[in-house]
Structure 1
Amino acid sequence: MPLKQRLTFTLIMCIGMGSIMSLLGMVTSSGWSNALVHQFAASVVPTIVFAFIFNLLIASNIAAALIKFGTRNLTDNQAIIHRASTIRGWAMILVMCFTMSTRALVMNGVLFKMTPVQFGLEFLESLIMALIVRDFFVKPIARKITAPLAVARN
């Protein structure tokens, strides 16, 4: 994927995932209210900015290292591309979900009050929601929006 397309795709994914996952997290923890709408409005932009910067600087480098490690014994280009795509998808969702859910727990002041089991269950809940949101909503929209960028390049 060309750089412009990858940056656009990443930005759309961060906007979609950051806003939807933040809203879902807030609604599941406190219910829907006017205060929640104001809290969401105040926190969504910093969340998206953090997610985008973290994705570019850390998560993508972790994914690249895992791809290098995971494809080191492959020689077939198609197999390398397929495995790299799989590794990138799983690495990004796991790293981003872990980081963003942990960040939310820290910001809400509950991380250090949780047991390891509670933290694991919280992460699992966030991961399941993130997989559903990513695969059924955000990723198809991001691909549809960034597809013309690939066509324009060719």
Structure 2
Amino acid sequence: MPLKQRLVFTLMMCIGMGSIMSWLGMVTSTGLSATVMHQFWLQVLPTIAFAYVFNLLIATNLAALAIKLGTRRLTDTVAIMKRAQTIRGWVMIVVMCLTMSTRALIMTGALYQMTPLQFGLGFIESLIMALIVRDFFVKPVTRRLTASLAN
């Protein structure tokens, strides 16, 4: 994917994942109310901006390193491409989910009141939600939009 297309794809993924996951996290932790919606609208743009910058500067580099390490013994180009896609997908979702959920816990002050077990279980819950949101909603829409921009 060319750089411009990758930047647009990343931005759309951050908008989709940042907004949906923030909303789901807020609603599942406190319930749906006017206050929650107000807080969501105040926090969604900074959340998306943080996710986009973090994705470009940190998560992408971690994924590239994992791909380098995970494909170093492969010689077949097709096998390398297939494994690279799998590694990139998993590294990106795990790193972004861990970072963004931890950021939300820090911002709300909840992280400091959690045990490691609570944190781990909360992360697993966030990861499962993120996988569902990414694979069934955000990624298909983003791919279609990115493909239509490329044409």
Normalised to the residue count of structure 2, the TM-score between the two structures is 0.98
Alpha-carbon distance, 1:112 to partner: 1.2
The residue that corresponds to 1:96 in the other structure is: 96
Deviation at 1:148, TM superposition (A): 2.9
Distance 1:112 1:32 in 2: 24
Query: Cα offset for 1:75?
Result: 0.6
- The residue number in structure 2 matching 1:67 is 67
Aligned residue for 1:84? 84
Distance 2:75 2:149 in 1: 29
The yes-or-no answer on 1:18 pairing with 2:18 is yes
Aligned to 1:32, the other structure's residue is in SS state coil
2:141 is matched with which residue? 141
Q: Which amino acid aligns with 1:45?
A: L
Task: Give the root-mean-square deviation of aligned CA atoms.
Answer: 0.7
Deviation at 1:149, TM superposition (A): 4.1
Gaps of 5+ in 2: none
Distance in structure 2 (CA, Å) of the matches to 1:65 and 1:149? 29
Partners in 1 of 2:114 and 2:39 — Cα distance? Answer: 23
The answer for unaligned runs of 5 or more in structure 1 is none
Q: Which residue of 2 aligns with 1:42?
A: 42
Aligned residue in 1 for 2:29: 29
Deviations 1:51-87 (A, max 9, x none): 0000000000000000000000111110000000000
Q: Give the superposition deviation at 1:147.
A: 1.1
Describe the superposition over 1:94-133 as per-residue Cα deviations: whole angstroms up to 9, x where unpaired. Answer: 0000000000000000101100000000000000000000
Query: Alignment partner of 2:146: what SS?
Result: helix
Q: Distance in 2 between matches of 1:5 and 1:137?
A: 19
SS at match of 1:72: coil
Distance 2:16 2:143 in 1: 12
Relative contact order, higher structure (CA 8 A, sep 6+): 1
What TM-score results when the alignment is normalised by the length of structure 1?
0.96
What pairs up with 1:122-133 in 2 under 5 angstroms?
A: 122-133=122-133
What letter is aligned with 2:138? V
